Amino acid sequence: MEKMYGSAGFFASDDAQVTVEIGAEKKGIEIKSKVSKLFNAQIEGAVKDILDKFNIKDAYVLIEDRGALDYVLRARIEAAVIRALASRKEGDEV
Amino acid sequence: MNRSLLFIPGNAPKMLNNCDVFGADGLILDLEDSVPFEEKDAARILVRNALGNLRDAECELTVRVNSKDTEYFNDDIREIVPMKPAALVVPKVSTTEDVQQYDNAISEIERLNGIAEGTIKFYALIETALSILHLEEIVAHDRIAGIILGTGDLGIDLHIKRTKEEHEFLYVRSKMVAAARAYGKRCYDTPHLLVHDLEDLEKQVKIAVNLGFSGKAAIHPKQIPYINEYFSPTEEEIKRAQAILDSLEEAKSNGKAAKMVDGIIVDNANIRAAKEILGIKE
The pLDDT tens digits of the residues spanning B187-205 come to 999 999 999 999 999 999 9
**Contacting residues of A for B48, CB less than 8 Å apart:** 75
Contact A74 B50 (CB under 8 A): no
Mean pLDDT over B200-220 rounds to: 96
Contact B50 A82 (CB under 8 A): no
Measured in angstroms, the CA of A27 and the nearest CA of chain B are apart by 24
Measured between CB atoms, which of A71, A78, A82 is closest to B52? A71
Q: Could you tell me which of B136, B177, B132 has the C-alpha nearest to residue B157? A: B132
Range list of H helices, A4-64: 36-53
Measured between CB atoms, which of B14, B17, B49 is closest to A75? B49
Q: Are the C-beta atoms of residues B138 and B93 closer than 8 Å to each other?
A: yes
Query: φ and ψ at B198, to 5 degrees?
Result: -75, -25
Contact B42 A69 (CB under 8 A): no
For residue B268, list its beta bridge partners: none
In order along its 94 residues, chain A shows pLDDT tens digits of 678 999 999 999 999 999 999 988 889 999 998 776 788 899 999 999 999 999 998 899 999 999 999 999 999 999 999 999 999 855 555 5
Cα distance between the two ends of chain B: 16
Query: φ and ψ at B212, to 5 degrees?
Result: 105, 10
Contact B14 A13 (CB under 8 A): yes
Contact B46 A75 (CB under 8 A): yes
Per residue in B121-180, pLDDT (tens digit) is 999 999 999 999 999 999 999 999 999 999 999 999 999 999 988 999 999 999 999 999
Q: Could you tell me which of A59, A7, A63 has the C-alpha nearest to residue A35? A: A63
Contact A15 B13 (CB under 8 A): yes
Measured between CB atoms, which of B41, B42, B49 is closest to A71? B49
For residue B4, list its beta bridge partners: B216
| Rounded Cα distance, B10 and A28, in Å | 30
**Contacting residues of B for A82, CB less than 8 Å apart:** 41, 45
Q: Are the C-beta atoms of residues B261 and B247 closer than 8 Å to each other?
A: yes
- ipTM rounded to 2 decimals: 0.92
Work out the burial of residue B157: count CB atoms within 10 Å of its CB; fewer than 13 is exposed, 13-18 middle, 19 or more buried: middle
